[in-house]
Amino acid sequence: MPRGITPRQPSRSGRQDKVAKATPRAKARFAKGFSAPKKSAKATPLAGRKSAAKKTLGKTAAAPKGYNPVAPERVSEILRRLDKRYPDATCALHHKSAWELLVATILSAQCTDARVNMVTPVIFAKYPTVEAFAALKPEELEPDIRSTGFFRNKAKSVIGAARKLMSDFGGEVPRTMDELLQIPGVARKTANVVLGTWFKIADGVVVDTHVQRIARRLELTKNDNPLKIEQDLMRVIPREKWIAFSHQIIHHGRAICIARKPKCAECPLENLCHAADKTWSTVEIHKSAKP
Ligand code: SF4
């Protein structure tokens, strides 16, 4: 949106509604980005159309007084639409046990799930048990996981985790947050993935880069620290939705609400979202709703 231009507030008489037709000057002003959505624009997705994608059709403002982005009705409408769009969303990391999921999640830091899914079948075929991993030296595992990045730290974490499971948990992945957090390489995000996806235990909300970005765009949090974001989400989202919400938002972040150029014209949450970096909008933009 061009800087330095503030759209007029509609007048009480409704005169403003006709201003685009009224004068050439007003026409030009509105053509710069403040006109109401055109019928054709609504019907046609704007993603991929360079000039159109740059346009935000809603006006920019601070969130109005009294607006509550975490009002239960708004949150439940967001959840309802996510359920409808992503009814079967689940973890994209391939795994056959809690241990395999734990290892895959450790390897997925700063790496795509597709890459991890190429690496894990190789290492689980080579080292089929937790015990086999515990007996390794990091240098032995490093070449097999090199392509996932940060492979030295990841090798130490995976082997450290295997040793901890052998020494303290009878070779089994524990099923409580406190115990999982004692394992090398495991923080709340990894623990939440394992608890939610494998054990179906909702002890928190997975906050990865997608959840972090989209929670801020949707004004469900103002924080940028993942631990605080998780606390905020746990406050506003009903517990029975914690597991599904994370999976759905991660899918949404990959498919539509991407970091650089979100595909707002295709988004099921469009008219509930006031994000400052929307590429297309039928509602007011809130300056503070930033990723
Ligand atoms: S409208 Fe755009 S910014 Fe908002 S959630 Fe959808 S894709 Fe993301």
CB under 6 Å to ligand 1: residues?
A: 214, 217, 256-257, 262-264, 267, 269-270, 273, 275, 278
Take atom 2 of ligand 1 and give the residue whose Cα is closest.
264
Q: What is the pLDDT of residues 68-101, one digit of tens each?
A: 999 999 999 999 999 999 999 999 999 999 999 9
Contact 101, 113 (CB under 8 A): no
Condensed to tens digits (0 to 9), the pLDDT of residues 178-194 reads: 999 999 989 999 999 99
Q: 248, 82 in Cβ contact below 8 A?
A: yes
> Which residues are paired to 285 by β-bridges?
60
* Distance (Å) of CA 118 to CA 107, 121, 198: 11, 7, 20
Q: 61 forms bridges with which residues in the sheet? A: 286
Q: Average pLDDT in the 125-145 region?
A: 98
d(CA 162, CA 38): 59
The catalytic site residues sit at 189, 208
Pocket test for ligand 1, best of 56, 82, 273, 290 (most atoms within 8 A of CB): 273
